[in-house]
Structure 1
Amino acid sequence: MSLPVLVAIVVLGITLSVAAVHFTGGSKTATLANTDQAVRRFAEDFPDELAGAIHLTADAKTAFLELGRGRIGIVHSIGDCFLTRIVTAADVSVSNSDETNTILVRLTDFTWKGGRFRFANAGDAQALLNALEARQSDATREAA
């Protein structure tokens, strides 16, 4: 078999494999339908935790759940799955973004560094920003 024919067969095989994965849902991104789904998904990993206020991002890929005792639960989509975390003031750095209704969250967790989260309304963004900043201030006072 000649080299050009072999290369063509390999390229066609790779193209068909990638297309098959894509068209069977392999490139689908998970989203949260509503806050109830976020609570249910979080409860799968943390069944003993009760969520208070829930803040869902505008793209429905991330939910922040206020858990009490200075902790925030996070449900974040990665590919077609969800990652869940519980963070405290020591685990997070938060700041306001220049974009409307957007906050920046950085985690010390090496498996997920956080990101930029845009909310549908300013109230959710500000409530979460206040909750995380208040917890950061409390942790700073306790450390001193």
Structure 2
Amino acid sequence: MSLPVLTAIVILGIALSVAAVHFTGGSKTATLAGADQALSRFAEDFPDEAATTVRLTADAKTAFLDLGRGRIGIVHGIGDHFLTRVVTPLDVKMSGADEANTILLRLADFTWKGGRFRFAGAADALALLNVLDPHHSNSTSEAA
């Protein structure tokens, strides 16, 4: 078999494999329908934890749940699944705000490093920063 024919067969096979994964739901991303879904998904992994407040990001891919005593529960969509965590200020390497309603969060956990989370309002971002970074200054968030 000639090299050009073999190359074409390999490229066609890879393209068909990628298309099959996509059309069978492999490229679907998980989003939260609301606070109730975030609470129930978090309760699957942490049934003994009771959340008082749920803060959803604007893209509905992440929810932050206030668990009290300086602890935050996180439900975050990765692929078509959800990752859940309980974090404290000790688990956070760095947090800050780059806009009034957006926070940057870096975790010490090697399995998930955190990210940039945008909320619909600045109050949610500020409340979360105040729990995870008690030394955070309100002046950066109120400048907007």
CA distance in 2, matches of 1:83, 1:29: 12
- Give CA-to-partner distance per residue, 1:48-74, whole Å, 9 cap, x none: 100011110000000000101221100
TM-score by length of 1: 0.89
Residue pairs, 1:44-55, within 5 angstroms? 44-55=44-55
Percent of pairs identical after alignment? 75
Which residue of structure 2 aligns with residue 85 of structure 1? 85
Q: What is the letter of the counterpart of residue 43 of structure 2?
A: A
Which stretches of structure 1, 4 residues or longer, exceed 6 Å deviation after superposition?
none
What's the offset of the Cα at 1:131?
2.0
- Structure 2, unaligned runs of 5 or more: 137-144
Aligned partner of 1:103 in structure 2 is 103
CA displacement at 1:79 relative to structure 2: 0.6
**Quick check: 1:59 aligned with 2:77?**
no
Range moving further from structure 2, 59-68 or 88-97: 88-97
How far, CA to CA, are the matches of 2:63 and 2:125 in structure 1? 11
String of CA shifts for 1:98-124, please: whole Å, max 9, x gaps.
Answer: x34101111000111111100011121
TM-score (ref. length: structure 2)? 0.89
How much has 1:8 moved relative to structure 2? 0.6
**Superposition CA RMSD, Å:** 1.3
SS at match of 1:29: coil
User: Alignment length, in residue pairs?
Assistant: 135
| Correspondence for 2:27 | 27
Partner deviation per Cα, 1:1-32 (whole Å, 9 max, x = no partner):
22211111111011001011011110111000
Q: Report which of the two has the higher share of helix.
A: 1
